[in-house]
Chains A and B, each alone.
Chain A
Amino acid sequence: MSFLNHLNLQLPLQKAKEKIKSIPKPNKCKLALDQITDAVYIINRKKRLVYMNAAYTRLSGYTCEDLLNKKVNPTLGDGKISDHSDPIEDALNKGEPWHGELITMHKSGRTYWVDTVISPYKNKYGRVNGVIVIQKDIGEQKKTETALTEYKNLYRNLIKNSFDGIVFIHNLKLIFANRAFLKMMGFTRDELVNKDLTNIIANDFKEEVISNLKKRSDDEVEVESFQVVFIKKDGSRLSTEIKIKDVVINGEASSLLTIEDISEQESYVNVIRESEAKYKVLVENSQDGITIIRDNRILFANQTYCKMLGYTTDELYNMPSVQTLHPDDHEKAYNIAKRRHEQDFSTINEVFRMVTKNGEIRECETSSTLIEYNGMWASFFTSHDITESKRIQLELQESEEKYRLLFEAESDAIFMIDTENGQIIDVNPAASNIYGYSREEFLAMKNTDVSAEPEKTTEATRRNDTKVLLRYHRKKDNTIFPVELSAGFTTFKNRKIQIVTSRDITDNMKMQDALRESEKKYRELADFMPQTIYELDTKGNLLYMNKSGMEAFGISEADYGMSCLNSFVPEDRDVMMNNLKLTMEGKRIKPMNEYTAVSRSGRIFPVLIYGVPIVKEGMVAGTRGIIIDISERKATEKALRDSEEKYRSLIEKATDGIVITQDGSLKFANQAMSEIMQYFVDEMIDKPYLDFVVPGDHQVMIDFHKRRMQGETFTSIYRSHFIRKDKKIITVELNARTSVYNGRPAAFIVIRDITERINIENELKQAKEDLERLNGELEDRIIESSRKLAETSTQLLNLQKENLQSQFEVLRQQVNPHFLFNSLNVLTSLIKLEPDLAEQFSEHLSKVYRYVLENKDNELVDLNTELRFLDAYIFLLNIRFVGKIKVNIEIPFEKRPLLIIPLAMQLLIENAIKHNIMTKKEPLIIDIFVDEQNYLNIINNLQERPSHLYSTGVGLKNIQNRYKLLINKEPIIEKTEKQFIAKIPLVQKGV
């Protein structure tokens, strides 16, 4: 590689000399120069380019045709070199070599850095004839290592070519020294020629040189080169390396010494070392792993690489490179190695799976090239761990795939739209299916192009609407169809985009229409319903009510939304709200409640409400139901209840026992029956009726029952005998009828316990007998009296006689059998018909008789006492002659103490009855009062009977006589056309 290596060193000295001399001459060494890889060109004194090798064409892009013999300065770039505005100019002028880095312009216009050596060459007159420029591209970092090595060799060669001292010696006597050597040493040629070489060799090297040279001449050892320090003219030491070749000069064995000033070389080595260090830092700190491999062994690995695989530098050193590779990638590695072995310089990029020390696999992107390393070819690898990025990329890929699948699998059309301009960025296959456009067609469209309502679409996009329930879109074939849209917004690749899902709702719409139609039908039906039909929301607010309902409640559709509670009386509202809640919770499957409703007009009416929950999409959305106005029903119910109440109370409060028998058993018995029989009602129910009847009466009862059951209707009041709970037999009066009870024939029987009445009847009979007996006795007494009277001397005072007669009359009167029997007759009649009245009647009757008995012997009695008796008597009359007689007594309190003959008033009343017609239409009216003269007036209206029967007139006459005898004052009797007036004088007490 060194420049000299290209020369045939075996040429004869002469030839060599020729060659050496010809070095600066381009034409002569063109061949050699063309071979080298460095760019070389030569510029003559006139600055014309006289030579350029092929390497320079590769470097600069210029060809010979471009530059040859042209006055150019291709080394100049943009003047970045401050000190040397033109190093070539300098070299031409000063004749001194220059080395540095220059920025140079390529033919294509780009600039690049070149390491440049400019060496001036001189003609034999020492005049600078031109410069040799050698350049190397240092622009690409990848070639750093190669460059480093090459520089080293290059410099060495150039120095050798240009500056090596060349000396011929013969027996240590210097016979030639070239100019370079002379310059090197500072001696003139004359000062050195024919002088002993050792004179200019430093003492410490003399022996070695002599020895070496001797060895060569003795052919002992072929010493080719050695280092020697020369002493220059100025006495300084010059380190050189001597290469020695045997030559024959002038027939004598001589030696050719090429002397290289290695002091400069040493300094270059230092430069290179620095450069090496610089690159080492670069290499070591590189983010990429860097390895140098030769013969499949790792010669070098940087820290990054070590770290990447978990090895130390020492462990990696000399390790077979395949050991760090996945077995499957070994072949790839061998292929690269093979290409490198074949001097393939190209950069090879390859992905390798590396194996770390602990067995993990890391994927690496590698780039390799061929370099010279330590003088031998080696592969230079940079490796970049892409495991992580690969993983992320993979995930990204998966994610993207996933979303793409979703995007494509979606049956709804999906659009990705740029919100800025509405441009469709992407669509899924469903969009093509639905709209009929291909994806490519879509991508040239805007969102408004698919809309049949573009303004609305633009507006919705502007508003960032996320949901559009109904929008009409247009298909490619111009069909317009309804869609439901849902939009999302996101940022994608720095663009704000809208992802719109579009669903074709044509079918939905049809269904909705059908539904609406159906709903309308039912609404209309509902409106025809006579009942109220309503719908409420969950809060109880009215959603719907049919026509009948609105009429009933007096509301209109304008009231939709109001609370239903407004239509009910306040006291019902809590219950209603609660029931609404229960209905909605479904707790009342068939709720029914009665409420009081209020219409707008204030009409209050009772209603029944049947409600069910409204369920929409699985959620309770309110209630729906029917309201039935039950005011009529209520009224009927009330009437029925009242009637029932009436009859029930009639039955319950009746004093007669009431029973219903059916199939021979008691089906019902009222409270009175229970009291009569002394059984509890429950004890009697379902018992055979005949169980309560004495056996002797069974046949009659059965016969009656049969007759009734055969449909014969007859009223029968008859007596029977019942057995009470206490076994006592009671007499009852029965009144039975057939009727229907619970849908089947039954007997309704009214039962009256007449045991007591019979007892009374018996008692009365007894009393009658007693009275009859008394009557008989009285008659006996009267006869006795009469007999006595007859026996009494007629001389007895008239008064006495009158008295006796009066007494007799009174007695007769008192016990008038008419009165008694009439009274008894009344009483007997009353007993059955009006037992209470009968009781009162007997009381009054006994009062009357007691009074008669007590006062029959009294001459006078006070009015008060007499009136008490009269009240009782009048009571009897009123019973006997219902409504046919009216007795008015008006006697002030202060007159009551006045005295009167007992029974006088009674006698007068009796007379009035006897002689006058008395009917309900023409009642007998008797007024009794006391006049100013203290006469008791007894006046009756006169309506005389046609026939006068047994009017003895004794009574009236008797009274008149008694008064005459007693107080010498007679009663006044007047008879007018209309009235019969009797005035009885009253007597003051003590008179």
Chain B
Amino acid sequence: MKAFYAGPTKSKRMTVVIIEDEVFAARRLENMIRECDAEIEVVAKLESARDSIEWFKTNPQPDLIFLDIHLDDDLSFAIFKEVPISCNIVFTTATDELATRAFAIKGIDFLLKPIIQSDLNRMIEKYRNKPQNSVTIEPYFFDDIVNSKY
């Protein structure tokens, strides 16, 4: 069955964290991830920056974070200021310029909402075997994006 899905190097199930303030959007994303690969484990769905910070303080880093920028209580960038994040990140956004800017400036991938399955599949495949960042994202890594004007 390993042959069915993964490349030869895959040794453990891919873990994913979804940070999304809209409940339905989070659930949909989870389903879409499973649809892509039922083996992928969604280890957490977090709604706010605050919850996310708490979670990352106590849990190991996942393989990949799907990260909504605009959260209930703050921009998701706030998380990075509080806890070190070393895993791969994919922003999810409706039309947020911040995401596009992050991509443009920082090279962080993003998915546009509503997310399309094939885009998601592609993104997952891209990060499936990509090793984690060797260094954590700096706390103020995104500050310039926030503060910049277009």
B28 adjacent to A950 (CB under 8 Å): no
A821 adjacent to B74 (CB under 8 Å): no
A825 adjacent to B34 (CB under 8 Å): no
Knowing A715-B38, A821-B95, A825-B94, say if A884 contacts B24 (CB, 8 Å): no
Give complex CA distance A832, B23 in Å.
13
Q: Is B125 an interface residue (CB 8 A)?
A: no
Which residues of B have CB within 8 Å of A712?
Answer: 1
Which residues of A have CB within 8 Å of B119?
Answer: none
Which residues of B have CB within 8 Å of A833?
Answer: 24, 27-28, 31
A818 adjacent to B38 (CB under 8 Å): no
Q: Is B85 an interface residue (CB 8 A)?
A: no
B114 adjacent to A825 (CB under 8 Å): yes
Which residue of the partner chain B has the closest CB to A824?
Answer: B114
Q: Is B122 an interface residue (CB 8 A)?
A: no
Q: Is A403 an interface residue (CB 8 A)?
A: no
Chain A nearest Cβ from B73, distance in angstroms: 4
Pick the residue among A714, A716, A820, A821 that contacts B112 (CB under 8 A).
Answer: A821
Of A820, A824, A826, A830, most buried by chain B (CB within 10 Å of CB) is A826
A822 adjacent to B94 (CB under 8 Å): yes
A829 adjacent to B73 (CB under 8 Å): no
Q: Is B48 an interface residue (CB 8 A)?
A: yes
Which residues of B have CB within 8 Å of A714?
Answer: 38-39
Give complex CA distance A820, B96 in Å.
12
Of B38, B47, B73, most buried by chain A (CB within 10 Å of CB) is B73
Q: Is B25 an interface residue (CB 8 A)?
A: yes
Which residues of A have CB within 8 Å of B98?
Answer: 949
A945 adjacent to B73 (CB under 8 Å): yes
B4 adjacent to A918 (CB under 8 Å): no
Q: Is A776 an interface residue (CB 8 A)?
A: no
Give complex CA distance A103, B45 in Å.
164
Q: Is A707 an interface residue (CB 8 A)?
A: yes
Scoring A residues 795 to 831 as 1 if CB is less than 8 Å from chain B, else 0, what string do you get?
0000000000000000000000110111011111110
A947 adjacent to B72 (CB under 8 Å): no
Which residues of B have CB within 8 Å of A884?
Answer: 21, 72
Knowing A707-B1, A830-B24, say if A949 contacts B75 (CB, 8 Å): yes
Give complex CA distance A879, B24 in Å.
8
Chain A nearest Cβ from B44, distance in angstroms: 17
Give complex CA distance A947, B73 in Å.
10
Knowing A821-B112, A917-B72, say if A829 contacts B24 (CB, 8 Å): yes
A717 adjacent to B113 (CB under 8 Å): no
B74 adjacent to A818 (CB under 8 Å): no
Knowing A818-B96, A946-B78, say if A829 contacts B34 (CB, 8 Å): no
Knowing A821-B94, A821-B112, A824-B113, say if A880 contacts B31 (CB, 8 Å): no
Scoring B residues 1 to 43 as 1 if CB is less than 8 Å from chain A, else 0, what string do you get?
1001000000000000000011111011101001100110000
Q: Is A882 an interface residue (CB 8 A)?
A: yes
Give complex CA distance A880, B22 in Å.
6
Q: Is B97 an interface residue (CB 8 A)?
A: yes
A919 adjacent to B73 (CB under 8 Å): yes
Give complex CA distance A901, B97 in Å.
30
A827 adjacent to B95 (CB under 8 Å): no
Q: Is B105 an interface residue (CB 8 A)?
A: no
Scoring B residues 84 to 104 as 1 if CB is less than 8 Å from chain A, else 0, what string do you get?
000000000011111000000
Which residues of B have CB within 8 Å of A222?
Answer: none
Work out how many contacts link A and B, with CB atoms closer than 8 A. Answer: 99
Which residues of B have CB within 8 Å of A829?
Answer: 22, 24-25, 27-29, 114
Q: Is B146 an interface residue (CB 8 A)?
A: yes
B contact residues, range: 20 to 34
Knowing A825-B113, A826-B25, say if A703 contacts B4 (CB, 8 Å): yes
Q: Is A637 an interface residue (CB 8 A)?
A: no
Chain A nearest Cβ from B113, distance in angstroms: 4
A882 adjacent to B113 (CB under 8 Å): no
B96 adjacent to A828 (CB under 8 Å): no
Which residues of B have CB within 8 Å of A827?
Answer: 114
Of B24, B27, B72, B112, most buried by chain A (CB within 10 Å of CB) is B24
Q: Is A834 an interface residue (CB 8 A)?
A: yes
Scoring A residues 875 to 904 as 1 if CB is less than 8 Å from chain B, else 0, what string do you get?
000011110100000000000000000000
Give complex CA distance A940, B98 in Å.
27
Q: Is A718 an interface residue (CB 8 A)?
A: yes
Which residues of A have CB within 8 Å of B113?
Answer: 821-822, 824-825, 828
Knowing A833-B24, A918-B72, say if A828 contacts B114 (CB, 8 Å): yes
Which residues of B have CB within 8 Å of A947?
Answer: 74-75, 78, 146
Knowing A824-B113, A833-B28, say if A718 contacts B74 (CB, 8 Å): no
Give complex CA distance A583, B34 in Å.
66
Give complex CA distance A293, B127 in Å.
166
Which residues of A have CB within 8 Å of B74?
Answer: 917, 945-947
Which residue of the partner chain A has the closest CB to B114?
Answer: A828
- B residues 120-139 in Cβ contact with A at 8 Å: none
Give complex CA distance A719, B117 in Å.
12
Chain B nearest Cβ from A249, distance in angstroms: 195
Which residues of B have CB within 8 Å of A718?
Answer: 35, 38
B27 adjacent to A825 (CB under 8 Å): no
Which residues of B have CB within 8 Å of A824?
Answer: 94, 113-114
Which residues of A have CB within 8 Å of B27?
Answer: 829, 833
Which residues of B have CB within 8 Å of A946?
Answer: 74-75, 78
Chain B nearest Cβ from A257, distance in angstroms: 187
B38 adjacent to A832 (CB under 8 Å): no
Chain B nearest Cβ from A703, distance in angstroms: 7
Give complex CA distance A824, B21 in Å.
15
B22 adjacent to A881 (CB under 8 Å): yes
Give complex CA distance A60, B34 in Å.
163
Which residues of A have CB within 8 Å of B50?
Answer: 919
Give complex CA distance A884, B38 in Å.
31
Which residues of A have CB within 8 Å of B24?
Answer: 826, 829-830, 833-834, 879-880, 882
Which residue of the partner chain B has the closest CB to A918?
Answer: B72
Give complex CA distance A884, B47 in Å.
11
Give complex CA distance A822, B24 in Å.
12
Give complex CA distance A703, B1 in Å.
9
- A residues 940-954 in Cβ contact with B at 8 Å: 945-947, 949-950
Give complex CA distance A816, B72 in Å.
20
Which residue of the partner chain A has the closest CB to B39?
Answer: A714
- A residues 920-956 in Cβ contact with B at 8 Å: 920, 945-947, 949-950
Which residue of the partner chain A has the closest CB to B26?
Answer: A829
Chain A nearest Cβ from B61, distance in angstroms: 24
Give complex CA distance A485, B10 in Å.
106
B4 adjacent to A828 (CB under 8 Å): no
B34 adjacent to A715 (CB under 8 Å): yes
Which residues of A have CB within 8 Å of B47?
Answer: 919-920
Of A719, A825, A881, most buried by chain B (CB within 10 Å of CB) is A825
Give complex CA distance A822, B95 in Å.
8
Give complex CA distance A225, B4 in Å.
184
Scoring A residues 400 to 424 as 1 if CB is less than 8 Å from chain B, else 0, what string do you get?
0000000000000000000000000
Pick the residue among B25, B31, B95 that contacts A817 (CB under 8 A).
Answer: B95
Give complex CA distance A881, B23 in Å.
8
Top 10 A-B pairs, shortest CB-CB distance: A828-B114, A821-B94, A825-B113, A829-B28, A829-B24, A917-B73, A817-B95, A919-B72, A716-B38, A822-B94
Task: Given contact pairs A880-B24, A947-B78, enumerate 17 new A-B contacts (beta carbons under 8 Å).
Answer: A715-B34, A717-B38, A719-B35, A818-B96, A820-B95, A825-B25, A825-B113, A825-B114, A829-B22, A833-B28, A882-B24, A884-B21, A917-B74, A919-B73, A945-B75, A946-B75, A949-B98
Please give the residue numbers on chain A whose beta carbons come within 8 Å of chain B beta carbons, in ascending order. Answer: 703, 707, 712, 714-719, 817-818, 820-822, 824-830, 832-834, 879-882, 884, 917-920, 945-947, 949-950
Please give the residue numbers on chain B whose beta carbons come within 8 Å of chain A beta carbons, in ascending order. Answer: 1, 4, 21-25, 27-29, 31, 34-35, 38-39, 47-48, 50, 70, 72-75, 78, 94-98, 112-115, 146
**Mind listing 14 A-B residue pairs with CB under 8 Å?**
A714-B39, A716-B38, A717-B34, A718-B38, A818-B96, A821-B113, A825-B94, A832-B31, A884-B21, A918-B72, A945-B74, A945-B75, A947-B78, A949-B146
